[in-house]
Every structure is written in C-alpha cells, then in structure tokens.
A = this chain, B = another copy of it.
Amino acid sequence: MEYTPPPKPQLSSRANAFSIAALMSSGSSKDKESPESTIKPLEQFVEKSSCAQPLSDLSSLDPHGDFSSSPSSLCTEPLIPTTPIIPSEEMAKISCSLETKELWDKFHELGTEMIITKSGRRMFPTIRVSFSGVDPEAKYIVLMDIVPVDNKRYRYAYHRSSWLVAGKADPPLPARLYVHPDSPFTGEQLLKQMVSFEKVKLTNNELDQHGHIILNSMHKYQPRVHIIKKKDHTASLLNLKSEEFRTFIFPETVFTAVTAYQNQLITKLKIDSNPFAKGFRDSSRLTDIER
C-alpha cells in the first residue's frame, strides 16, 4: 500500500517562490524572498494557456462525478480558454503525463483532502509529471499553480460522510506560482527525467513570507502544471508576451484544502501510503498497555 515512486530518475526540487518579474528578469531566480508586491496575478498565465479547461466545468463535488470519468492522465486536448489562443505548432507537440496517477485515482475516489498549515504542509500524493514532444536543445521553465474550482465554500457532514456546499467562497487570496526549482530545464532533461513537485507547500497564512501556495480552507482546488519555452534573449517581464505556454490539468488531482482531515477514509489512505505517516499504521501503534 505504501506508495513508492517509479524508478524513472527524478530531479530533486527545492522550495522556491517566484514572482513573474523575478522569473523573467533572471531566467533562473533562486531568491526565496520575492517581495509580495511583485507577484502578479495568475491570469497573466491563464490568458496564455493552451490547454486550460474552463474552471466552471470542474465544480462537481461528487467524487464519483465528472472527474472519475476522465479516461486518462495524459492531458493532450487543447481546451477552450476565455480568450482562445492557439499554441505554436512547436508547443502543440508537447504532452505531459501524470506519473503518480494510480495513487491520485485512489484518493480521488474518496475525495482528496490536503492539509494546510500556517508554516506550510507538503502535498500528498505528490504531483510528478513527464513531458514528451519537447525540443531537446531548448530550455523550458516548468511551474505549478493551484486555482479554485468554483466559487463555493464547503463543510463536511460527518453523519452522512459527504461534503456539502456551505456558502459562497471566501475572498480570493494572493495567487502564487511555484516555479520548479530545477528550472530552467533543457528539453533533454525533461525527456529523461520526471519532474517532481514534492517540495511545494500549502499554507492558509495570507501573510506567508516563504513563498508557499496560499489557499482557503474548506475550498476546492485544481493544481495545474505549466511549461514555458524560454528564449535566451528574453530577460524582462516585458518580453513575457513572446514566451510560449502550455498548461496541463489533471482532473484526478483536484482536492479540498482542510486544516484537519474530515473524511476518515482519507486519513487512513494517507497513513497507509505516505511513508512519513508510517508511525500511525495499525501494526506500529502502541496499545494503552504497551505504553
């Protein structure tokens, strides 16, 4: 039951918060303290997305609903953004697959929850993706963000073990991008190794200074993976328009942010599949007498 990542070599990752400005100006900024004021809204990316699903279509709460009918973890279909933008022929070739799909599917069947804390909590399962169709000689920036699925707030009805709409969403929080810390990648690297977002952390602290992704508790979210082809001579935010984007969404990775697990089956699956929670597995807990 414990989840062990497949043998494909992985790139390590380091926690890393980026503003678009820093990203574009240095090409590979590793500064951890990008000032909050320079972080630009997600929409700058969304408008250029080539594979972005209209998020209003993703609002099903039923864990056996729209998402579970998604046949594949490979996102290759160009979807219709509000302002349709056709990717270049070259970018259209790129595909991206979710390496951890099996485990995500198990969680998705139950209704995935992710803990958010003040200091930041990792996601489990981890988002790990592989790319194909990239140019081995080119350089790419790979990043992740997490966007609201709908405009609702939820609560969990323990007596019937299901999620209910509890009202309108809380005010939106500062949108943050998690640029994969090994960016920029060469296309050659992307073809050889999977990209793991294991170090990304989620927080409910609106004033977070660590660059973690800020979410509202009891709201439903969709992680997204973006890839940008980097041009060597682009060195400022102004050149952002000339970058080329693709956005990939894996519907089985949708989750509800919580400060404590609601569904006990989710707790059990986390304990059984996350190596760090091994101490809570039945066989290793001390009984009252042993203690």
Contact = CB atoms under 8 A, between A and B. Distances in A.
A233 interface: yes
Contact of A186 (B29, B32, B189): B29
A243 interface: no
A235 to B, nearest CB: 8
Nearest to A184: B28
Chain multiplicity (copies)? 2
A162 to B, nearest CB: 43
B26 A188 contact: yes
A11 interface: yes
A30 B190 CA distance: 11
A31 B192 contact: yes
A275 to B, nearest CB: 21
Given A12-B14, A14-B12, A232-B232, A28 B26 contact: no
Interface in A168-226: 182, 184-186, 188-189, 192
A28 B30 contact: no
A2 B76 CA distance: 54
Contacts of A184: 28
Interface residues of A, number: 21
A23 to B, nearest CB: 12
Contacts of A30: 11, 182, 185, 189
Interface string A11-44: 1101000000000001111111000000000000
A192 to B, nearest CB: 7
Given A31-B192, A233-B232, A186 B26 contact: yes
Central interface residue in A26, A139, A188, A233, by most chain B CB within 10 Å: A26
A36 to B, nearest CB: 18
A26 B192 CA distance: 14
9 contacts: A9-B32, A11-B30, A12-B14, A27-B139, A27-B186, A28-B186, A30-B182, A30-B185, A232-B232
